[in-house]
Amino acid sequence: MNPAASPSAKPPARTPAEPSPARFTHPLSRAIAATRPAFLLVTLVACALGLAIAHGSGVHLEPLSAVLSVLLALVAHAAGNVINDYHDRDADRLNTGRLYPFTGGSRFIQNGVLSARQTALLGYGLLAAVIPGGLWLAWIAGPGLLAIGAGGLLVAWAYSAPPLNLAGRGLGELCIVTAWLLVVAGTDYVQRGAFSALPFAAGLSYALLVANLLYINQFPDHAGDAAAGKRTLVVRLGPQTAKWGYLLIALLAYGWLVLMVGRGLLPQKASAAAFTLVLSFNAAKRLIDHAEEAAELAPAIGQTIAAACLHGLILTAVLALADWPGGH
């Protein structure tokens, strides 16, 4: 392993891309940037997929509730990001093998842009802000949304926060799959006003690919995580064993998609989303070749992001427009 990746090594100089107090002088811009807004794209795609499923099922989309459900999902994800920064501040401080901006947190606490207390107030404030809008949506859409919303908020908190700290117990991937399935299902429920199996049939492959983004990000971070006592799957298994997990998750995602199409639960055209396996498999090959070389993993992380987002967007287009068993 590269000695620079060791938590005991001297921290590298801050790269120009990392945040600094001089770059974020306005409180609003500082707060927005602290949420890691670029990563909210995966939630936006999940919301689009949920709306497409409802529309493809013949449900008339109500614009106000649709927009509000998307905004609340984005705020909940932003809250989870900031809460993660707060509770992972020790692991992020020890993380010298990070690939900013992909891994190692936002660096706002470590670089002095926000204090730990300010970060906690922002994260938990955003989480609390979701509740009034969620209650209003549940009032107009149905009480089932309360269960979906409560589940989402619980995962956003329990992912990083003690005493559960599920990511630190090797359950981060399960949290991610659950959270993004709930986003798809919740967005659909707001429009449909009832539970349906369709969001789970259509959304699981996407949620698994989003989980692979978390998974591959753990490789550059594993030394700092281990030093801070954070027992992710990559820490528990070690990079050389854990590297095969990425391929397994990808195979599960594409296998699920093929199964749903084969059983007629999704339209044949949905199989077009499987073309993103080229990106996933290229990323898997690079990870297998460079599991302990953090600096070599940036292209694989980029391909993982592209695979998830393109997969979700293709499914969105197909399910919104195609004739399928769950549709019109």
Label residue 326 by pLDDT band (50, 70, 90). Answer: low
82-137 pLDDT, tens digit each: 999 999 999 999 888 888 888 889 999 999 999 999 999 999 999 999 999 999 99
178-217 pLDDT, tens digit each: 999 999 999 999 999 999 999 999 999 999 999 999 999 9
pLDDT at 2 over 70: no
Give me the pLDDT at residue 185, please.
97
pLDDT at 10 over 90: no
Give me the pLDDT at residue 325, please.
55
Give me the pLDDT at residue 300, please.
97
pLDDT at 80 over 60: yes
Helix (H), strand (E), coil (C) string for the chain:
CCHHHCCCCCCCCCCCCCCCCCCCCCHHHHHHHHCCHHHHHHHHHHHHHHHHHHHHCCCCCCHHHHHHHHHHHHHHHHHHHHHHHHHCHHHHHHCCCCCCCCCCCCCCCCCCCCCHHHHHHHHHHHHHHHHHHHHHHHHHHCCHHHHHHHHHHHHHHHCCCCCCCHHHHCCHHHHHHHHHHHHHHHHHHHHHCCCCCHHHHHHHHHHHHHHHHHHHHHHHHHHHHHHCCCCCHHHHHCHHHHHHHHHHHHHHHHHHHHHHHHCCCCCHHHHHHHHHHHHHHHHHHHHHHCCCCHHHCHHHHHHHHHHHHHHHHHHHHHHHHCCCCCCC
Label residue 3 by pLDDT band (50, 70, 90). Answer: very low
Domain locations in the chain as residue ranges: 30-321
Give me the pLDDT at residue 96, please.
85
277-318 pLDDT, tens digit each: 999 999 999 999 999 998 899 999 999 999 999 999 999 999
Q: Find the mean pLDDT for residues 15-27.
A: 83
* Architecture of the domain made up of 30-321: Orthogonal Bundle (1.10)
Share of the chain above pLDDT 70, in %: 93
Mean pLDDT of the chain: 92
208-241 pLDDT, tens digit each: 999 999 999 999 999 999 998 899 999 999 999 9
